[in-house]
C-alpha cells in the first residue's frame, strides 16, 4: 500500500485562485484598492487623534513643566533638539520623538522613571532614571510640556498616570533597553489596519 502525502489545502486554494483569477478580474481588484483604503483609514485616524489632542492643556501645568524642564535641558537642550557636546550630542532630539509622543502615556513615563540603558556611545549623556528627583506632579507637568512644545503635540499626562506607572515599576531598578521601550509602541501600521478589520 502506498501512502501519499495529503494535498495541502492552501495549494488547492491557490491553484483554484490562479485558475479563476484571469477570467474573473474582480478578484484582483480589492487587492489593488487595499493600499488606497488603508491610506484613507490612516488619514481618518490621524484626524481623529489630532482632534483628541486639541483638548486644552492647563496653562498652569505647562508653566510647571517649563520650569522643571530645566532638568532635561542639560542634555536635551533648551530647544529639545539635543545639546551639542563637541562633535557629539548629549542626547537625541525629543522633537517628534515617537517615544515621547506615544499615545500610551506609560511609554514616556517609564522612560523618566526607569531611564534608558546606555548601549551605544552615540550620545555623550545618559538617560538616567529621574523618578527619585521629581515627584508625580512634576514628572507629569514636564511630560505634558515636552509633548506640547517645540512643535510637538500630544495628550497631557496626569500625576495619577505617573503614580500608577510608578507603582507598577516599584522595586524594578534596571534601566530599560531602547528595544524594550520601542516594543511598547504600537506596531507599524497597526492603527491604520484596525478600522479595516471591523
> Applying CB under 6 A, which part among 43-51, 89-97, 154-162, 166-174 lies near ligand HEC?
89-97
SS3 43: helix
Verify binding: residue 71, ligand HEC, rule CB under 6 A.
yes
Here the contacts of 162-171 (C-beta below 8 Å, separation 24 or greater) are 162/109, 162/113, 162/136, 162/137, 163/136, 165/105, 165/106, 165/109, 165/110, 165/113, 166/109, 166/113, 166/131, 166/136, 169/110, 169/113, 169/114, 169/131
Q: Which of 57, 61, 64, 76 binds ligand HEC (CB under 6 A)?
A: 76
Verify binding: residue 72, ligand HEC, rule CB under 6 A.
yes
The answer to whether residues 168 and 116 touch, using CB atoms and an 8 Å cutoff, is no
Verify binding: residue 161, ligand HEC, rule CB under 6 A.
no
Query: In Å, how far from its chain's centre is CA 1?
Result: 59
Per-residue mark of binding to ligand HEC, 30-69 (x: CB under 6 A): ----------------------------------------
> Applying CB under 6 A, which part among 3-11, 13-21, 36-44, 88-96 lies near ligand HEC?
88-96
Closer residue to ligand HEC, CB minimum distance, 107 or 192? 107
Tell me which residues touch ligand HEC (CB under 6 A).
71-72, 74-76, 90-92, 94, 97, 99-100, 108, 111-112, 116, 118, 123, 125-128, 130, 142, 146, 178
Amino acid at each position: 500500500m502506498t501512502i501519499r502525502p495529503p494535498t495541502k489545502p492552501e495549494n488547492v486554494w491557490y491553484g483554484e485562485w490562479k485558475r479563476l483569477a484571469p477570467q474573473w478580474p474582480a478578484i484582483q481588484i480589492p487587492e489593488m484598492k487595499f493600499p488606497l483604503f488603508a491610506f484613507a483609514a490612516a488619514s481618518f485616524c490621524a484626524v481623529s487623534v489630532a482632534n483628541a489632542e486639541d483638548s486644552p492643556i492647563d496653562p498652569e501645568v505647562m508653566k510647571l513643566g517649563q520650569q522643571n524642564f530645566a532638568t532635561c535641558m542639560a542634555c536635551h537642550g533648551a530647544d529639545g533638539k539635543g545639546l551639542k557636546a563637541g562633535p557629539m550630542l548629549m542626547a537625541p532630539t525629543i522633537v517628534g520623538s515617537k517615544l515621547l509622543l506615544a499615545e500610551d502615556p506609560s511609554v514616556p513615563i517609564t522612560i523618566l522613571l526607569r531611564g534608558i540603558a546606555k548601549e551605544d556611545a552615540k550620545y555623550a549623556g545618559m538617560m538616567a532614571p529621574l523618578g527619585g528627583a521629581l515627584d508625580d506632579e512634576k514628572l507629569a507637568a514636564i511630560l505634558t510640556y515636552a509633548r506640547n512644545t517645540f512643535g510637538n503635540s500630544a495628550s497631557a499626562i496626569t500625576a495619577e498616570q505617573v503614580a500608577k506607572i510608578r507603582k507598577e515599576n516599584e522595586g524594578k531598578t534596571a534601566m530599560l533597553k531602547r528595544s524594550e521601550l520601542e516594543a511598547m509602541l504600537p506596531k507599524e501600521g497597526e492603527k491604520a489596519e484596525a478600522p479595516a478589520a471591523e
